[in-house]
């Protein structure tokens, strides 16, 4: 019974990963998310895009079901997902994993995915 009550208090987070952004492999990203995300606060769902605009569709489907929708990729991936989340109650998060990461730099996001997780943990899931 306690497990069910605890689970109800967790925030649902959808991580949408673009596996080809920035030319960097993303095979280890799900392990990094699960290792660094506070499991007592978040219930993560991790999905990969498989074509252009797939991230937008995944994000639209996630609105209303997930409190946090996190784009893992470059500026194009972030734009695709942000356009689906804009104007909704979902909080947009970004983990920069592209070649330039211009948007993340503009917001003062420290470069590197490991630092992104740490910063997100400190903000307890608050998006940009």
Rounded Cα distance between 14 and 58, Å, is 9
pLDDT the model gives residue 90: 96
91-108 tens-digit pLDDT = 999 888 765 665 555 556
pTM of the model: 0.76
| % of the chain beyond a pLDDT of 70 | 69
Question: How many structural domains comprise the chain?
Answer: 1
* 26 located within any domain: yes
pLDDT tens by residue, 35-79: 999 999 999 999 999 999 999 999 999 999 999 999 998 888 989
CATH code of the domain covering residue 74: 3.40.50.10330
Query: Confidence band (pLDDT; 50, 70, 90) for 21?
Result: confident
Burial of 104 (0-12, 13-18, 19+ CB in 10 A): buried
Asked if residue 28 is part of any domain, the answer here is: yes
128 assigned to some structural domain: no
Q: What angle do CA 78, 75, 61 make, to 5 degrees?
A: 20
Asked if residue 14 is part of any domain, the answer here is yes
Residue 35: inside a domain: yes
What is the structure's pLDDT at 111? 52
Q: Is the dihedral of CA 8, 82, 17, 97 positive or negative?
A: negative
Q: Give me the chain's average pLDDT, please.
A: 79
**Helix (H) and strand (E) counts in the chain:** 6, 4
On whether the CB atoms of residues 77 and 21 are closer than 8 A, the answer is yes
29 belongs to a structural domain: yes
The one-character DSSP state at 40 is: T
What length does the chain have? Answer: 128
Range of the domain at 39: 2-123
């Amino acid at each position: 019974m306690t497990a069910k009550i605890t689970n109800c208090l967790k925030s649902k987070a959808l991580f949408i990963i673009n596996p080809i952004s920035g030319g960097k492999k993303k095979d280890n990203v799900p392990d990094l998310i699960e290792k660094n995300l506070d499991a007592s606060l978040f219930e993560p769902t991790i999905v990969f895009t498989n074509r252009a605009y797939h991230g937008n569709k995944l994000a639209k489907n996630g609105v209303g079901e997930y409190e946090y929708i996190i784009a893992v990729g470059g500026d194009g991936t972030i734009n695709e997902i942000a356009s689906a989340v804009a104007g909704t109650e979902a909080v947009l998060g970004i983990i920069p994993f592209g070649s330039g990461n211009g948007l993340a730099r503009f917001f003062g996001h420290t470069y590197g995915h490991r630092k992104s997780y740490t910063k997100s943990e400190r903000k307890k899931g608050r998006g940009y």
